């Protein structure tokens, strides 16, 4: 295909937003971004066509790829340095050829990996000028697959199920300067030296580093010796392997894996044959949500160690538990609305809501027990930590209930309550995520402390938001905490103040439930302002906010820390 051009291959219309990101790019590379690549699931099942641009831009989409390792008759491996004007991962050293099979009948054929082999022949000619006669299909050996993601910067990411191919043959190489700036042939020893060298002038592409350091063995270097398998090696997020990589913001970092977590949640909660029970369990989750807790184990693991898909399974389990607590909280608090839609006990009925919550708790532990990538010896740790989280949440909720019937609640008791009700979930996500990432004990403790400070700040801010926001913003009646008599830190502080008209205005609404008017609630909120209670709670929240950032300052700088810092600031930014 010496005349290779975009007119020769299937293409897709690119989304306008993503197209804007190509402004100023090399015109040839920009045109190739319209190629129709193959969107796939985590297990390499075809979803459909997607443009090369849309699969790499923003949070990206999992798609099929291939990596060729071409050896000559002397046992040397061909490497290429990607051209400087490549849109994704320019200037890095990679394996002989790495690209994507296209969404066409020929390049989607699975038998004997013919689809990816045909794509390899096409790209070896287009990138390196190697004539197809020198790389016949029968000489390629399919070895294995790997799944990984690697972010280059805020805009571009690789998310691939990569098919690894080996070929031993002598070829004539004539690199296309629009694709390749340099080539070299390396021995096994040469490659090992490259892998251990800290050379900023010769950066190795993250996917090739994964192949060379984690999958490739001596057999690959010898003709006819590779032993193919049907595995998909899970590499997780390997962005940290690229020096000077720029991490994504919190929203994009969550979006990268949100759909993967939600598919796990849906699969777990719709497994029951009882459609009414499944519907009740899915009700709140179908109402949306940011999935902070669900993605947090993954986000923490990215910042402190290795990631794998088991972290998404654990995150899904924790999100199911979180929503189980919300179902029961709404019953106990007599709240009819959650996330702008009827609470489960309103949409269904009280017995069904209670039963759905019970089932969700059991399902969460079932999901963890079959999580991919979780070694059996880790299960006791997970059961203990997440079981402790559920117990602490229940203890916190019980204290919250009891506080409503007590005239005096101390600040220390309130902190103990929100430690269990809210912070326990955050610290568990952080502790479990760092443990599963292989972090050392000091780092695990650091992330535990971060999660605790984050959770305490989160709940203090949540209490403040209930007072400072309107009903449409909250998705539930504004001021419901005060009307229900909840002993928030603001209320505890206000009740410590000497008698005054402001204190009387607060007492007139505190715990009166539906018997108060919106005007009375507004006066109660103003009383919290006048008594200095809102400012007092803000100062306390800010102190936990600083503690959380202090913990992150102890972690070695890396691209994934950006999302954790933005999460630390998240609630504070909602009211400032």
Say whether pLDDT at 375 is over 90: no
Judging by beta carbons within 10 Å of its beta carbon (0-12, 13-18, 19+), is residue 472 exposed, middle or buried? exposed
What is the pLDDT at residue 371?
A: 87
Q: How far apart are CA 525 and CA 505, in angstroms?
A: 9
Say whether pLDDT at 4 is over 60: no
Span 430-448, pLDDT tens digits:
999 999 999 999 999 999 9
- Structural Rg of the chain based on CA atoms: 28
Say whether pLDDT at 345 is over 50: yes
What is the pLDDT at residue 132?
A: 97
Question: Do 64 and 92 form a contact (C-beta atoms < 8 A)?
Answer: no
Q: Among residues 255, 554, 558, 314, which one has the least CA distance to residue 433?
A: 314
Q: Which residue carries 């990569």 as its tokens?
A: 162
Domain with CATH 1.10.600.10 in the chain: 250-575
Q: Give the pLDDT mean for 358-374.
A: 91
Q: List the structure tokens of 520.
A: 């009375």
What is the pLDDT at residue 2?
A: 41
Say whether pLDDT at 314 is over 50: yes
Q: Is 231 left (phi over 0), alpha (psi -120 to 50) or beta?
A: beta
Q: What percent of the chain has pLDDT over 70?
A: 96
| CA atoms in the 13 A half-sphere facing the CB of 497 | 22
Span 43-60, pLDDT tens digits:
999 999 999 999 999 999
Superfamily in which the 250-575 domain is placed by CATH: Farnesyl Diphosphate Synthase (1.10.600.10)
Q: Band of the pLDDT at 274, cuts 50, 70, 90?
A: very high
Q: Band of the pLDDT at 475, cuts 50, 70, 90?
A: very low
Span 133-191, pLDDT tens digits:
999 999 999 999 999 999 999 999 999 999 999 999 999 999 999 999 999 999 999 99
Q: How far apart are CA 269 and CA 546, in angstroms?
A: 38
Question: Do 123 and 117 form a contact (C-beta atoms < 8 A)?
Answer: no
Q: What percent of the chain has pLDDT over 90?
A: 78
Mean pLDDT, the chain, as a whole number? 92
Q: How far apart are CA 329 and CA 431, in angstroms?
A: 25
Give me the CATH code for the 6-241 domain, please: 3.90.79.10
Measured CA distances, 250 to 60, 66, 260, 295, 559 (Å) = 15, 30, 16, 11, 11
- List of E strands, 231-312: 232-237
Q: What is the DSSP string of 331-353?
A: HHHT--EETTEE-HHHHS-HHHH
Question: Do 95 and 73 form a contact (C-beta atoms < 8 A)?
Answer: no
Q: Among residues 348, 361, 331, 337, which one has the least CA distance to residue 280?
A: 348
Q: What is the dihedral of CA 420, 422, 427, 428, to 10 degrees?
A: 80
Span 539-551, pLDDT tens digits:
999 999 999 999 9
Domain with CATH 3.90.79.10 in the chain: 6-241
Q: Note the pTM of the prediction, 2 decimals.
A: 0.90
What is the pLDDT at residue 325?
A: 92
Q: How far apart are CA 551 and CA 548, in angstroms?
A: 5
């Amino acid at each position: 295909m010496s005349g290779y051009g975009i007119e020769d291959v299937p293409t897709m219309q690119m989304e306008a937003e993503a197209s804007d990101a190509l402004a100023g790019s090399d015109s040839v590379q920009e045109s190739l971004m319209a190629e129709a690549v193959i969107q796939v699931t985590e297990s390499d099942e075809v979803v459909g066509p997607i443009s090369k641009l849309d699969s790499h831009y923003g949070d990206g989409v999992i798609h099929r790829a291939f990596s060729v390792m071409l050896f000559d008759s002397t046992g040397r491996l061909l490497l290429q340095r990607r051209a400087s004007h490549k849109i994704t991962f320019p200037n890095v050293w990679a394996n002989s050829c790495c690209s994507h099979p296209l969404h066409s009948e020929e390049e989607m054929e699975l038998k004997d990996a013919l689809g990816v082999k045909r794509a390899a022949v096409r790209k070896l000619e287009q990138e390196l000028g190697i004539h197809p006669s020198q790389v016949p299909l029968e000489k390629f050996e399919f070895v294995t697959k790997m799944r990984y993601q690697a972010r280059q910067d805020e805009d571009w990411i690789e998310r691939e199920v990569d098919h690894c191919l080996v070929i031993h043959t002598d070829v004539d190489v004539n690199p296309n300067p629009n694709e390749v700036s340099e080539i070299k042939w390396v021995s096994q020893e040469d490659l090992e030296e490259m892998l251990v060298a800290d050379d900023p002038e010769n950066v190795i592409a993250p996917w090739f580093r994964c192949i060379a350091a984690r999958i490739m063995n001596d057999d690959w270097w010898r003709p006819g010796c590779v032993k193919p398998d049907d595995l998909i090696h899970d590499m997780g997020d390997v962005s940290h392997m690229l020096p000077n990589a720029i991490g994504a913001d919190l929203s994009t970092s969550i979006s990268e894996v949100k759909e993967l977590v939600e598919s796990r949640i849906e699969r777990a909660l719709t497994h029951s044959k009882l459609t009414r029970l499944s519907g009740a369990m899915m009700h709140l989750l179908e109402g949306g949500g940011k999935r902070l807790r669900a993605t947090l184990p993954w986000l923490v693991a990215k910042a402190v160690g290795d990631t794998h898909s088991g972290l998404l399974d654990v995150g899904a389990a924790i999100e199911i538990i979180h929503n189980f607590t919300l179902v029961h909280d709404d019953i106990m608090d007599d709240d009819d609305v959650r996330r702008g839609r009827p609470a489960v006990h309103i949409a269904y009925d009280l017995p069904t809501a209670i039963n759905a919550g019970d089932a969700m708790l059991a399902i969460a532990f079932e999901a963890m027990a079959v999580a991919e990538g979780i070694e059996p010896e880790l299960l006791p740790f997970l059961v203990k930590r997440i079981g402790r989280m559920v117990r602490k949440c229940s203890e916190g909720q019980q204290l919250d209930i009891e506080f409503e019937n007590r005239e005096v609640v101390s600040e220390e008791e309130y902190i103990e309550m929100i430690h269990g009700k809210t912070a326990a979930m955050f610290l568990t996500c952080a502790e479990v995520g760092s443990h599963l990432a292989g972090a050392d004990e000091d780092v695990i403790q650091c992330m535990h402390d971060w999660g605790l400070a984050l959770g305490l700040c989160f709940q203090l801010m949540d209490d403040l938001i209930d007072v400072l926001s309107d009903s449409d913003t909250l998705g539930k009646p504004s001021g419901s905490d005060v009307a229900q008599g909840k002993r928030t830190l603001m209320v505890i502080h206000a009740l410590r103040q000497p008698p005054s008209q402001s204190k009387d205005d607060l007492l007139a609404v505190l715990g009166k439930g539906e018997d108060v008017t919106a005007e009375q609630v507004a006066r109660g909120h103003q009383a919290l302002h006048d008594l200095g209670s809102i400012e007092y709670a803000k100062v306390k929240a800010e102190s936990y906010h600083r503690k959380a950032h202090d913990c992150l300052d102890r972690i070695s700088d890396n691209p994934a820390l950006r999302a954790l810092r933005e999460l630390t600031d998240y609630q504070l930014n909602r009211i400032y």
